[in-house]
Structure 1
């Protein structure tokens, strides 16, 4: 199951909530993508399916 789909289910179940939005880092890091949005961080940078922080939070719930 993609992380975006599992995040949606975990939010609906009340097990995870999105993090507070952060400002875009300055200078913008080379791998930072302004055209992609991540639901967990509520901002740009990468897509939800490639979020290491969300992957770790999900694994913590499994553990």
Structure 2
């Protein structure tokens, strides 16, 4: 299941919420992509399906036995 779909399901279930938006980092890192948007971070930089922080947050929920996305 793509991370974007898992995130959507977990938000609907009340298990995750998007992070508060933060200002752009200065200087902007070389791999930062203004053309991509992450729903978890509510901002540009990368897409939701490639968000490392979201992957870890979901894994934490799985490890705690709070969710089974299988």
| Partner Cα distance (1:19, 1:29) in 2 | 20
Q: How many residues align?
A: 63
Q: Tell me, which stretches of 5 or more residues in structure 1 are unaligned?
A: none
Q: Tell me, which stretches of 5 or more residues in structure 2 are unaligned?
A: 64-70
Greater CA radius of gyration, 1 or 2?
2
Which consecutive segments of 4 or more residues in structure 1 shift more than 3 A?
none
Q: CA RMSD in A?
A: 0.3
Map of 1:29 onto structure 2 = 29
Instruction: State the Cα distance separating 1:13 from its structure 2 match.
Output: 0.1
TM-score, scaled relative to structure 2: 0.89
TM-score, scaled relative to structure 1: 0.99
| Partner Cα distance (2:43, 2:6) in 1 | 18
